[in-house]
Structure 1
Amino acid sequence: MDTIKANGLEFGYLAQGPADGPLALCLHGFPDSAHTWRHLLPALAAAGYRAVAPFMRGYAPTSVPADGAYQTGALGADANALHEALGGGPDAVLIGHDWGAAATYAAIAQAPERWRRAVTLALPPVPALLAGFLTYEQLKRSFYIFVFQTPLAEMALNRSFVEGLWRDWSPGYDAAEDVEHVMECLATPDNIAAAIGYYRAMLDPSRHLPAYAAAQEAAERRGERPIRYLHGTGDGCLGADITGGAAGVLPHLPPGSQVDFVEGAGHFLHLERPDEVNALILDWLSR
């Protein structure tokens, strides 16, 4: 593992591939870690990319932001700052899962000149969620978001809770290795508060910092670079039904984008079906 400074933080990251290859930045979500890309990094490296998977802000060993900024504008700014720090060019690509997908949408909207193409997994753009999010079934799936708004959140986010989320979100997948990595990332109370902070900033705009006002405004626009969106039909976190299918997601993606559903895969589809998902990603990036 290496470290690099970007956007005022020290990021830990995993990397594979030639140092002079085009940058492929891979962003993880919750409750997860950079190790989630352990199947994709070597595939990207074999295709000639310099594949880099940072630990997201607040997830150890990446530092916890002193200003407590976890809004999507800040996440996108992190990705663009990492592009700069890692020497990325206009041929760089961006891949994000869950909160990493939110960061991806933000980054390509903020600085489209930095990115050639992108892939997002398991979290469509917010407008694609709105129609179905308040259904009874989805509200049951999203209980954790509301728990995280309460003073009980820091006590609730323990190993048992993380294990339960993985079990519910990707039924049948053995997440033991992933849970170990997650708990390493949530090693201190500050790290736990950081992971929860993403969800508090999501529902409480008063937590959005003025320093990121322009970045946040850009993050809420539709970007310019084409995105391939992937979603598992068995996702226990965000039901595939609430997106309205490809027809419901595609209008909220940039021109030239594509939507694919991976039959039977859950929320962590890139870990459950690595060969299939890697092939979809590499096919998209090669176009």
Structure 2
Amino acid sequence: MSEVKVKTVRTPQLEIAYEEEGAPDGFPVILMHGFPDDVRVWDGTASILSSAGYRVLMPYLRGYGPTRFIDPDTPRVGQQAALGLDLLQFMDALRLERASIAGYDWGCRACCVAAILNPKRIRALVAIGGYDVHDVMSPPKPAPPALEAECWYQWYFNTERGKAGLEAYRREICRKLWERWSPSWHFDDLTFERTAHSFENPDFVQVVIQEYRHVHRNDNGDPAFVETEKYLSTLPQIEVPAMVLHGDEDTVHPLFRSEELMSKFIEGTERRVVRGAGHFLPRQRPDAVAEALESLHLHHPSLVKSRRYPHV
């Protein structure tokens, strides 16, 4: 793959690194990656969309890759309010009045939060894995044992041993999650290493640890986001045109999770189960993501007219 130029833009808290493909005057589509991943997850989807005339923007989340905090005293948090506001502030910094957005895992959470907080800015949303907003104010409820077992890394990160383990073995832990969450996806060493360098960000460990402790009520979070977190904890409905994609082999986010929360989207929102895809759906089926964005009637109908997509 040819060398990719990384750009940066400044928001109130971050110097956000991002990559861009497509026509500068095309309608903007922002693709948000998850944990543990980076913008390479979108290579296939970005290629399809940019060829169709979209302006495709792929930011590195806080704590990943070249993205950096501006102030050394800013709390290194990964909580949902921070992720969603980062996305909206990224749009502000690029002077984007509206955009369509897609994300998975942490990226899906950022997209859902942004759509809730400022729906007028979001033309359309593709939520990979479904509604991903958490009630962090109420006592947590236990999940079925099989799902609790798959979340071993979250319980691990809620201990000091887990924090030290992620610091010492970040590549090994992240690779193990890749292997478990998309069981039929057989990636090679080069594919993993092209992303693993993003985990060397100096804030990666702290941001990851804080996110998983906050969602399990073991971290109070950044005081600046308290009121936003209170509002998000009411689990507001998403009032923008949306589509849910869910891989049928996703072991960490089972299918029932997105099905149960479809009422959190506006009436008529479609949920597509993508066969043969796991948690890392954009890597396995980039065409499914591109088709979902087009089917929400974005600005370039040529995306469908010029291409034939495999069945989803």
TM-based fold match above 0.5: yes
Report the alpha carbon displacement of residue 67 of structure 1 after superposing the two structures with TM.
Answer: 1.6
Q: Which amino acid aligns with 1:26?
A: L
What does 1:173-184 align with in structure 2 at a 5 Å threshold? Answer: 173-175=185-187, 176-184=189-197
Output aligned runs, 1:99-138, within 5 Å: 99-126=106-133, 134-138=143-147
Q: Tell me how far apart the structure 2 counterparts of residues 45 and 190 of structure 1 sit (CA, whole Å).
A: 31
Q: Which residue in the other structure is 1:156 paired with? A: 165
State the partner residue of 2:84. Answer: 76
Query: Unaligned 5+ residue runs, structure 2?
Result: 1-5, 300-312
Matching of residues 177-196 of structure 1 within 5 Å = 177-188=190-201, 190-196=203-209
Q: Once the two structures are superposed, what CA deviation does each residue of 1:125-183 show, in whole Å capped at 9, x if it has no partner?
A: 3579x999610110111111111111122333322211111111111313334421442
* 255-264 or 54-63: bigger deviation: 255-264
User: Structure 1 residues 127, 218: CA separation in 2 closer, same or farther (over 3 Å shift)?
Assistant: closer
The total of aligned residue pairs comes to: 282
SS in 2 for 1:119: strand
Q: Which amino acid aligns with 1:211?
A: A
* Match for residue 270 of structure 1 among 263, 282, 285: 282
More moved, 63-72 vs 24-33: 63-72
What are the residue-to-residue correspondences of 1:198-277 with 2, within 5 Å? 198-204=211-217, 206-220=219-233, 221-240=236-255, 242-243=256-257, 246=259, 248-277=260-289
CA contact (8 A) 2:80 2:133 kept: no
Question: Partners in 1 of 2:219 and 2:157 — Cα distance?
Answer: 16
Contact 1:99 1:123 in 2 (8 A): no
| Gap runs ≥5 in structure 1 | none
Judged with a 3 Å threshold, the aligned counterparts in structure 2 of structure 1 residues 156 and 131 are, in CA distance, closer, same or farther, namely closer
Supply the distance in 2 between the matched residues of 1:96 and 1:271 (Cα, whole angstroms).
12
* Structure 1 range deviating more: 18-27 or 137-146: 18-27
What is the letter of the counterpart of residue 262 of structure 2?
A: L
Please provide the CA RMSD for this pair. 2.5
Deviation at 1:10, TM superposition (A): 0.3
Higher alpha-carbon deviation: 21-30 or 275-284: 275-284
2:29 and 2:54 in contact (8 A); partners too: yes
- Give the TM-score, by structure 2 length: 0.82
Work out the CA distance in 2 between the residues paired with 1:19 and 1:47.
Answer: 13
Residue pair 1:112, 1:225 contacting (<8 A) in 2 also: yes
Distance in 2, matches of 1:238 and 1:60, equals 25
Cα distance in structure 2, aligned partners of 1:267 and 1:188: 23
Q: 1:131 to 1:203 in 2, by over 3 A?
A: closer
2:97 match: 89
How far residue 188 of structure 1 moved from its aligned partner, in angstroms, is 4.8
Tell me, yes or no, if the aligned pair for 2:63 and 2:202 is still in contact at 8 Å.
Answer: no
Deviations 1:55-104 (A, max 9, x none): 001112101472223221111110100111112123x1111110111111
Distance in 1 of aligned mates of 2:134 and 2:208: 23
Render the CA deviation track for 1:24-54: whole Å, top value 9, x for unaligned.
1111110000111111112222232211010
SS at match of 2:271: strand
Alpha-carbon offset, residue 256 of structure 1: 3.8
- In the alignment, structure 1 residue 24 sits paired with structure 2 residue 39: no
Q: Point out the structure with the larger helix share.
A: 1
Where 1:165 maps in the other structure, the secondary structure is helix
- Percent identity, aligned pairs only, is 28
